[in-house]
Amino acid sequence: MTVIQIDVISDIVCAWCYIGKRRLERAISIYQKTYPGGSSDVFSINWRPYYLNYNPSPHSVDKSELMDTRLSGMSPEQRAALIQRMDQIGRSVGIDFKGGGKIGSTRDAHRLIHLCQAKSAEVQNDLVERLFQAYHELEKDISDRDVLHKIATDAGVNTVEVDEWLASDLGADVVDDEAQKNRDTEASGVPTFIIQGVHRLEGAQDPSDLMEIFVKVKEGETHQ
């Protein structure tokens, strides 16, 4: 049995990070179903923070308002083509992107992910999936602590623990420092995948590219 460690550097408000997550899951599924002995290998995924800081204001704003600002240099036709392309890519991996809702800081969302690092991989991965889905598909404001509370408890985190964590500033310095380190030294953009601490892939990779790295890790261990 091989344990394949994957560090994923991402931010929840990044559409390509959500797409990258789905492609990673597809790559793992294909590997475990097709590679000889792959079904017994274990994938350990560690979700690491990155702040894109799309919204510079201290409060949440409508995503449409932010999009108007970020895409101001595009013609209406270019903007429509971009949205259509993202919709098509999203649907290809089972994501139904929605443009409504608000965008705020992702700091508390990353703090919750940090809290779940001490819990089972299933809980952390479920939390990350619910955060992405809430923002990109359900038009939720993931800077709102009531929204975050429901997401975390639905993922299986104890409600009292979530209340205490969100009401405090616990883990904030750790997350801030790691997010800054990831921006400065680990990733020029997101998503970034670091596999077995050695292989680095940037962007929402095709599952076949991820598969290639999994096989390299497996065969490298086998031949040692």
pLDDT, mean over the chain: 95
pLDDT above 70 as % of the chain: 98
pLDDT at residue 223, as a whole number: 53
pLDDT at residue 57, as a whole number: 87
The phi-psi region of residue 222 (left if phi > 0; otherwise alpha if psi is between -120 and 50; otherwise beta) is alpha
Q: In three state form, how does the secondary structure of the chain look?
A: CCEEEEEEEECCCCHHHHHHHHHHHHHHHHHHHHCCCHHHCEEEEEEEECCCCCCCCCCCEEHHHHHHHHCCCCCHHHHHHHHHHHHHHHHHCCCCCCCCCEECCCHHHHHHHHHHHHCCHHHHHHHHHHHHHHHHCCCCCCCCHHHHHHHHHHCCCCHHHHHHHHHCCCCHHHHHHHHHHHHHHHCCCCCEEEECCCEEEECCCCHHHHHHHHHHHHHHHHCC
Asked if 207 contacts 26 with a C-beta cutoff of 8 angstroms, the reply is yes
Residues 134-155: what's their mean pLDDT?
A: 98
pTM of the model: 0.96
pLDDT at residue 58, as a whole number: 87
Sign of the CA dihedral 58, 68, 109, 41?
Answer: negative
Instruction: Evaluate if residue 23 carries a pLDDT over 90.
Output: yes
Return d(Cα 39, Cα 35) in angstroms, integer: 8
Q: What is the CATH number of domain 3-222?
A: 3.40.30.10
- What's the pLDDT band for 222 if we cut at 50, 70, 90? low
Asked if 38 contacts 32 with a C-beta cutoff of 8 angstroms, the reply is yes
Instruction: Evaluate if residue 146 carries a pLDDT over 60.
Output: yes
What are the pLDDT digits (tens) for 71-105?
999 999 999 999 999 999 999 999 999 999 999 99
Instruction: Evaluate if residue 224 carries a pLDDT over 70.
Output: no
What are the pLDDT digits (tens) for 148-204?
999 999 999 999 999 999 999 999 999 999 999 999 999 999 999 999 999 999 999
What are the pLDDT digits (tens) for 107-128?
999 999 999 999 999 999 999 9
How many C-beta atoms lie closer than 10 Å to residue 16's C-beta? 17
